[in-house]
Amino acid sequence: MKKRKIIVGDVHGCSIELGNLLKACDYAPKTDQLYLVGDLINKGPDSQGVMEIALQTQAKCVIGNHEYHLLRDAQGVEVKRSWVEGLKRAWGGRFASYLKEIQSWPFYLEEEDCLIVHAGLAPGQAVAETDPFLLCNIRTWDGVGKRLWNHADPAWFELYKGEKLVVFGHWAALEGVIRPNAIGLDTGCVYGKRLTAFILPEKRWVSVAAEKAYCPID
């Protein structure tokens, strides 16, 4: 039997909601493949629990901007962020193994029927040749990639003309995007809204409510 693809938006440490969503999707390990579009960690209450679910389900994950900054911190190329120190304390002896796992994730996954990336694509650039920072952070496009979030600029997906479906997260304020060639899955779970999955090949949406708002919208 061909596996379904269950692609889930930004989890941000919301392990209870991720478990609830998998139940709502009737997730079956033998017949389904779970994908997570990045930002599994930080902001929410249980980043470790989310990492454990990802490992137990053998989820295919891409790096989000929060994982990107965690890796940069580990490389010593960014000023340490307080939330990174918080993860180190919370994860304790598991920190090194979780970090190694995250280091193994790609910045995008290209499947036969879709391309999965955390934030989006830089218009006019081949994904394999795009700066990973853009793949993790883009929202709007100014033509050069200097401003990635500006109301005066168009959303990257408005400029995307490819036929291949792009599934992404990162942009919680939109509470989801539905276009013929782009599906946005960040529906603001950590902010008290919903955690959402898009299932292929049936093109079905499933979402569950957040248990609570874990942090303010930034």
H/E stretch holding 191 reads none
Q: Does residue 79 lie within any of the structural domains?
A: yes
Number of C-beta neighbours around residue 167 at 10 A: 25
Q: Does residue 149 lie within any of the structural domains?
A: yes
Residue-level pLDDT at 1: 54
Residue-level pLDDT at 2: 61
Task: Please name the residue ranges forming H helices in 62-177.
Answer: 65-74, 82-91, 95-103, 132-137, 156-159
Residue range of the domain that includes 132: 4-209
Tell me which residue has tokens 């401003």.
147
Q: Which residues of the chain have pLDDT under 70?
A: 1-2, 80
Q: Does residue 44 lie within any of the structural domains?
A: yes
Cβ-contact 54, 63 below 8 angstroms = no
Q: Does residue 16 lie within any of the structural domains?
A: yes
Number of domains making up the chain: 1
**pLDDT tens profile 152-175:** 999 999 999 999 999 999 999 999
Closest CA to 104 of 154, 60, 41: 60
Q: Does residue 216 lie within any of the structural domains?
A: no
Q: Does residue 217 lie within any of the structural domains?
A: no
The CATH number for 123's domain is 3.60.21.10
Q: Does residue 136 lie within any of the structural domains?
A: yes
H/E stretch holding 123 reads none
Alpha carbon distances (Å) from 173 to 97, 120, 177? 33, 15, 10
Residue-level pLDDT at 77: 87
Residue 2 main-chain phi, psi, to 5 deg: -70, 135
Residue-level pLDDT at 218: 73
